[in-house]
Amino acid sequence: MVQKEISSYFTEQYHSQPLLIKAPGRINLIGEHTDYNEGLVLPASIEKAIYFAVSPNESGTIQIETFLTQPEKITFQLNGNHDKYARFWGNYFKAIIDILVAENYPLKGMNCVFGGDIPIGSGLSSSAALCCGFIYAITKVSGKELPREDIALIAQKAEHKIGLNCGLMDQYAVLFGKKGNAFFLDCKDLSHSYIPINLQGYSWVLVNSNIKHNLAVDSEYNKRRVSCENIVELVQQIKNGVTSLRDVTVEDLHHISEKANETDLKRAKYIIDENSRVLNMMQALTDGNAQQVGEILRQGHWAMSLQYEITTPELDILVKIGEELDGVMGSRMMGGGFGGCTINLVETNKLDTCITALLQNYRERTGIGAEYYHLAIDDGVKVIA
């Protein structure tokens, strides 16, 4: 197991037993592109994680070694005087330390070894796990613990500093996740609650289409954000108290239909419907209605494909194959779009047969080999040893 290897290596290098911290990845069951519209999301933290073995030191530095990509060691000064680092994770940690120094957080010397089993670039939010786990480790060593809400904000600031303009869904899911539960988050006021996943006899599986996000993705994201903002501006002219699409109804769209761009209307309708799908999914999970859960997944996918237009032909093929297989209850693209993975709900006793057929049919139809990962819903960031 990864955590045992990390803990053993730490003991060999630093001759002490470390504190071991687990920072999980996350999936998003439903609620794509709703976060920047102050909407609703339904993520969950998973068993795959990044592990941090840590202990205090008297060196006045934070020494970090990783097995995340290849063995590498970086030393950070507690006063924040350090250069940019070539490795991506070094710049995440630099950003975090810079923020903590600026906020006069009492940093202390720390030894740290980390690594994990979250597949990088799979849409499981390895960056949020990296940032939240590291900040949590610092608070444990320094002796001044921060509320998890504050850790989420610092992690978000760090991502913004290195150029990733993310919301707070990933950080909240990583920090507040609970085993056996989905995590409902209202992105307007950050209120949240736990939704039990009562699906005995079913398994969650992620299938990677191996279609990588292309260079045009950022501009496509921006176009969709602009579409949403255009609709909000038009509705504001006829309705008070509107600050985002969260405050807009389908009826409002009808009232502005003659003034609005047709594409903008279609995209706004997707966001409004997606918020409803989050609410419907919460009820279906609580009721243990696997058929309804699968139907909501399918609805969400084809809405992303036809209304928001953020899927790819390959992702659509993966979902179509699943619709043809007995045992796949439903699937949809997960994440920002234009590549990546599908999340699938599959009958556990038909899991092996379904996965084999899915991968084989996908290769036959596209010529591309896909990968899959079993997903288990687990707790958020925590000390495990």
Residue 122 DSSP class:
S
Give SS3 for 290. Answer: helix
CA angle 144, 147, 152 (to 5 degrees): 115
Residue 378 annotated among the catalytic residues of the structure:
no
CA angle 343, 159, 186 (to 5 degrees): 55
Residues 342 and 207: their CA atoms lie apart, in Å, by: 5
Q: Which long-range contacts (CB under 8 A, 24 or more apart) does 246-255 make?
A: 246/37, 246/38, 246/39, 246/188, 246/275, 248/272
| CA 242 to mean position of chain CA atoms | 28
Q: How many CB atoms lie within 10 A of CB 226?
A: 12
Residues 114 and 134: their CA atoms lie apart, in Å, by: 9
Catalytic residue among 35, 83, 98, 170: 170
Residues 263 and 269: their CA atoms lie apart, in Å, by: 10
Catalytic residues: 170
